[in-house]
Structure 1
């Protein structure tokens, strides 16, 4: 067993997997330069890796809320927030290094300062895909087997992409997927209770602000800078803002925006697809503008308060600036995605 664990942790299997998929080092410092000899695998795994990054979360989760139904989106956001927080904290508590380069070729630079165990890409992919199937299989008519196959394929591709890009060992991916599956199974029986409290409790807004901020400010401290704290704050902020939006919708805005009826058959037409695309483009436009405006305002205010330059990247990495600006920015995005954007859709006649 010990030999098996060491083998799964070793960098050599990662390097061999990369070579078999046509990715080779081409010299340079620490294997930073590489040669691609199989572009099918390169684009397949590069796109799959993006399915576990901000660009996916900020598009797929709002798309689910705007175009599928809020009932599904609420459960996805619950599980995403829980598994990502636990995964990020686990990395900085365990402090297991990423695969060594060389022999591994690393395609990503931003996350090299992070630790490796567990793979939060694998955790998020597993939680989101299987939660999506668990929630929708009773609302829409499609075979359960087909949904499970799709979820397995999605989570497998994301997991393999982390090995291909040189960011994780096989053990990182396996443990991440298993932790996520366990968390999903444990939280599944409480979904309805959490949903009821999220929509109806008068304490929901205060809880969604105070608890995530406490978790962010008490995040495990490292002796070097790592983007895990910033990413965790981003996730908790977006989840908090979206949850407050759910609560506002349920209490003060039309029920049609807050609660979805059970659907059994989806009839897809050209007009429906165009409407979905229009809703998505309008919504993403609002979120991009929100991010730019709130980020700039938050950074300028905090930098002015602490008397540091907005161009001083070291100062911006301090928790007293990084945590509040990330939380304010992404909670605003979450709030606007669930309140402002649906109202705008209604105003534009896109419902």
Structure 2
């Protein structure tokens, strides 16, 4: 049994999957960079960060990680005088490449800030509320488990790495797999209460989407098969245990007078009490973003209930969706573009202001990357930024749609 678990956790399985899908390393060779680091078969800066993470797992000390400066991978290589990362691997099947690289984005911030609000704007705020609640719980548990277990990601070589930003994070479990499973099946289970649709078709879509995200983590070389399997299982267990209480949580979130206080204080407390590491990792910042989005949406939905206009679908449930006409598509696209513009504007404005205020309070420079990673700056600036996004998404955006004539209160379009 232990041998099978080791096989699932081994890099050879990941490397074999990559080769089967046409992602192969170029000929073995060593490239010595100007700073003396040796790279071979795709092992670049990301591998150096992974080895640092392995040292932490073995109790060794090391300096702060520099992987999370949000530079593109190519910029990192150019800045360090190294070979472009594309030269370390060869794509022999572009269909699989685009399929899995695109699928991997379904677990990134750009997907969360577009897909989840789109459910609110174009379908039913009730569904968005359910998705955000489950997503936040699942992701927090997954992120904390990573930094408690401290199990490294697959090594390169033999694995080809296509991502660098999160390579300094630990691997077990795959939070991409957890999020994809939670979002797909929470939407399936919740939507059947609200709208009429072929359940078999919805189940097939949920399985395919979550499977693509899971396989993308192998293809990009970021997780072992064991990481992905454990992520799916943990997410399924959380959903199974919590499912009977979803309705109760909805009611308390909307009607309890203490709901907005709990919705802000509890996530902020969890952000500050996030497990400490002896090196910098993006997990604390990413977790703060997720909890802050949930916090802002939670308060926003409570406020909407007080104002008497929630924009939820009107029963009796399940309702029949109107036909998907060209006009409906046009209204949906317009709402998406306007809503996304408001969220991006909110993000940039609050981020700019909060960073400058906090850096002035703590005597730090806004351009100092290390200073922005300090907990006393990173947690409050990210929390305030994404709480604001959650509030704008849940309270303001739909009201702007009404003012612009993009939302008919008597219909879905």
TM-score > 0.5, shorter chain as reference: yes
Per-residue CA shift, 1:294-314, capped at 9, x if unaligned?
Answer: 000000000000011001000
From the CA coordinates, give the structure whose radius of gyration is larger.
2
Check whether the contact 2:125–2:312 (CA below 8 A) recurs between aligned residues. Answer: yes
* The one of 349, 353, 356 aligned to 1:297: 353
Partner of 1:69: 124
Per-residue CA shift, 1:54-77, capped at 9, x if unaligned?
Answer: 011000100001111011111111
SS at match of 2:222: coil
- Equivalences, count: 350
The reply on whether 1:159 has 2:214 as its aligned counterpart is yes
Return the offset for 1:260.
Answer: 4.8
The reply on whether 1:91 has 2:162 as its aligned counterpart is no
Return the offset for 1:124.
Answer: 0.3
SS at match of 2:181: helix
Return the offset for 1:204.
Answer: 1.2
Distance 1:341 1:227 in 2: 30
Distance 2:313 2:374 in 1: 40
Partner of 1:273: 329
Distance 1:122 1:144 in 2: 22
Partner of 1:22: 22
Greater helix fraction, Structure 1 or Structure 2: 1
Structure 1: which 5+ residue stretches go unaligned? none
Distance 1:106 1:46 in 2: 12
Check whether the contact 1:11–1:104 (CA below 8 A) recurs between aligned residues. Answer: yes
Check whether the contact 1:238–1:331 (CA below 8 A) recurs between aligned residues. Answer: yes
SS at match of 1:35: strand
* The one of 320, 324, 333 aligned to 2:380: 324
Distance 1:139 1:277 in 2: 22
Structure 2: which 5+ residue stretches go unaligned? 32-38, 45-87, 408-413
Distance 1:97 1:223 in 2: 15
Partner of 1:231: 286
Distance 1:268 1:55 in 2: 26
Distance 1:209 1:195 in 2: 16
1:154-233 aligned within 5 A: 154-233=209-288
SS at match of 1:111: coil
Check whether the contact 1:85–1:232 (CA below 8 A) recurs between aligned residues. Answer: yes
* The one of 161, 175, 179 aligned to 1:120: 175
Per-residue CA shift, 1:45-96, capped at 9, x if unaligned?
Answer: 0000000110110001000011110111111111100000000000000000
The 3 A distance-change label for structure 1 pair 220 and 16 is same
Distance 1:23 1:260 in 2: 49
Check whether the contact 1:250–1:259 (CA below 8 A) recurs between aligned residues. Answer: no
SS at match of 2:370: helix
Return the offset for 1:10.
Answer: 0.4
Return the offset for 1:254.
Answer: 2.0
The reply on whether 1:282 has 2:338 as its aligned counterpart is yes
Distance 1:281 1:105 in 2: 36
Distance 2:125 2:281 in 1: 34
Check whether the contact 2:177–2:210 (CA below 8 A) recurs between aligned residues. Answer: yes
Partner of 2:96: 41
Per-residue CA shift, 1:200-247, capped at 9, x if unaligned?
Answer: 111111111110111010100111110000000000000100111100
